[in-house]
Amino acid sequence: MKKTLNNHNHQPLIIIVGGGFGGIELAKKLRNKPVQVLLLDRHNYHTFQPLLYQVATGGLEPDSIAFPLRRIFKGQENFSFRMTEVEQIFPEKQVLKTSIGDLKYDYLALATGSDTNFFGQKAIEHYSMPMKSIPEALNLRSMLLQNLEEAIIKQDEAKQHALLNFVVVGGGPTGVELSGALAELKKHVLANDYPELDLSKVNIYLIEGSDKILGAMSAQASEKSRFFLEEMGVNVLCNQRVLGYDGEAIELSEAPAIPTKNVLWSAGVKGAVIEGIPSEAITRGQRILVDEYNRVQGCANIFAIGDLAAMLSDQYPNGHPGVAPVAIQQGKNLAQNLLRIIQQKSLIPFKYHDKGSMATVGRNRAVVDIGKIRFQGVFAWFVWMFVHLMTLVGFRNKLVVFVNWVWSYFSYDRGTRLIIRRFSRSSMTEDTAAK
């Protein structure tokens, strides 16, 4: 039977914007239900964002952490997908303005996730490198490799020094994992790939504005991850605010400026809000205020889940953490509630079941918090790998990532150090515009 967007059976049309963890889970839970589901995304694939840093540092190819959205929902009769940009919402008309035309909905679920937050610092936004998408991760990989190639031929010692200083800003899980990956790249790869380089000149810095890294995790996890990083040669600088970056040197509040051509920004995120959401419903970090059912404040049939949603409570005064389990659980809960709304039944409040937090620092080094249980080191590293493998979408991706990890573990090598396209600021601007 050929599927179209025309809803001939008059079933309610639920439009989901965003093919991340939350959007996918919501659409899956509506399978074979008396509704029509239309998923919209700017890309035709789902990105497994927790492993973007491995793409950026040459550990994985991008297609191993991406999966076609249409293939995820193969055989789901009430599902349709369109690759498009959503430009504006008209809540009073129940209409979405998109790059493929206007779409009318009965219920709208926003699962657009988050973007990099540069806190209004335009120069930093222009010169530093974010890492929230596959194109950005590939840009970052190309930039790092190009700067290493340039460092070999640079005769000016000051310029070479800047090319070999790598600065990661933000001590959350992404910053910690990226710093650890760079340290392993230096130790196990650069010596073989670039024998002309003096590795003592390669420096890796992790800059954090608060007094500890992994601030959302336990004190034990924070201390141990810092110990691991420093043991691997990373310079961890806490209580440091970034005052500016001009592409040549990064200025810090309590330390001398660091000359560098490599600033990797993971210091903050903000909600990817679509125009048309009432301004009074947007709160700190550009997140959308929602009630306990994920309904957007002031909107009867618009919902938000995942990183975008701010469900404030005594336990979570700033909203739930921006992690995949929150988005997945909210997607499941919202699917139930949308069906209950249609059936005119009472709704089920969302309650987050925190299954723990974890971060990897490098080979045989990770930290895990599960309730009151804390453990670090080799076992934590295997737990981290297992959880991420099981969460990946698609058997092929699981297999490819597993084989890559096994190869890297025994060979101390990363096999995807390719400059597919040369990085330039103009190409990064184009990628940002495409987002």
- Taking only the tens place, the pLDDT of each residue in 376-391 is 999 999 999 999 999 9
Looking at the structure, do residues 192 and 225 belong to the same domain, yes or no?
yes
**Domain-terminating residue out of 342, 372, 400:** 342
Give one DSSP letter per residue of 317-340, joined into a string.
Answer: TT-S-SSHHHHHHHHHHHHHHHHH
Length in residues, the chain: 435
Residues 165, 277 within the same domain: no
Residue of 370, 376, 355, 357 lying closest to 226 (CA atoms): 376
Mean pLDDT of the 151-172 span: 91
CA distance 74 to 42: 19
C-beta separation of 337 from 294 below 8 A: yes
Q: Rounded to two decimals, what is the model's pTM?
A: 0.90
If asked whether residues 169 and 207 sit together in one domain, one would say yes
Name the helix (H) or strand (E) containing 158: helix 157-163
Instruction: Give the number of domains in the chain.
Output: 2
**Residues 291 and 335 placed together within one structural domain of the fold:** yes
- Is 95 in the same domain as 153? no
What pLDDT was estimated at residue 363?
Answer: 92
pLDDT at residue 419 in the model: 84
State whether 102 and 128 are in the same domain.
no
Residue range of the domain that includes 287:
13-42+84-116+270-342
Final residue of a structural domain among 325, 342, 359: 342
Q: Examine residue 185 and state whether it is found in any structural domain, yes or no.
A: yes
The reply to whether 105 and 197 lie within a common domain is no
- Residues 95 and 167 grouped into a single domain: no
pLDDT reported for residue 263: 97
DSSP 295: B
3-state secondary structure of 389: helix
Question: In the prediction, which pLDDT does 411 show?
Answer: 87
Residue 363 lies in a domain: no
Tell me: the pLDDT tens digits for 402-429? 999 999 888 888 767 888 878 876 655 4
Q: How confident is the model at residue 1 (pLDDT cuts 50, 70, 90)?
A: very low
| Average pLDDT estimate for 310-338 | 95
Tell me the torsion sign for CA atoms 389, 394, 398, 401: negative
Is pLDDT above 50 for 318? yes
Other beta carbons within 10 Å of 103? 19
In a domain, 219, yes or no: yes
Give the pair of three-digit tokens for residue 199: 């590795």
pLDDT reading at 8 higher than 80: no
Report residue 3's pLDDT band, with 50, 70 and 90 as the boundaries: very low
194 touches 232 (CB < 8 A): no
Structure tokens at 304: 């938000």
The reply to whether 104 and 128 lie within a common domain is: no
pLDDT at 6 over 60: no
Looking at 54-58, 195-199, 277-281, which range is the least confident one?
A: 195-199
CATH assignment at residue 429:
3.50.50.100
Contact 105, 94 (CB under 8 A): yes
Query: Residue 427: its pLDDT value, please?
Result: 54
pLDDT band, very low/low/confident/very high, at 74 (cuts 50, 70, 90) = very high
Determine, yes or no, domain membership for 372.
no
State yes or no: pLDDT of 237 exceeds 80. yes
Q: Are residues 208 and 293 in the same domain?
A: no
- Can you read off the two tokens belonging to residue 435? 């987002």
Domain-embedded: residue 57? no
Mean pLDDT to the nearest integer, 92-99:
95
Q: Share the mean pLDDT of the chain.
A: 92
- Residue that the structure tokens 């129940």 belong to: 94
Beta strands in 175-238 (DSSP E): 203-207, 234-237
Query: Does some domain include residue 320?
Result: yes
Name the region of 258 (left: φ>0; alpha: ψ -120 to 50; beta: rest). Answer: beta
Question: Cα(127)–Cα(246) distance, rounded to whole angstroms?
Answer: 7
**Given this model, what pLDDT does residue 418 score?**
81
| 236/281 same-domain check | no
How far is 98 from 282, CA to CA, in rounded Å? Answer: 21
| Distance in angstroms (rounded) separating the CA atoms of residues 214 and 30 | 36
The answer to whether position 401 is within a domain reads no
pLDDT of 4 above 60 = no
On whether residue 66 sits in a domain, the answer given is: no
**Final residue before a domain boundary, out of 342, 370, 397:** 342
| Residue 245 and residue 290 share a domain | no
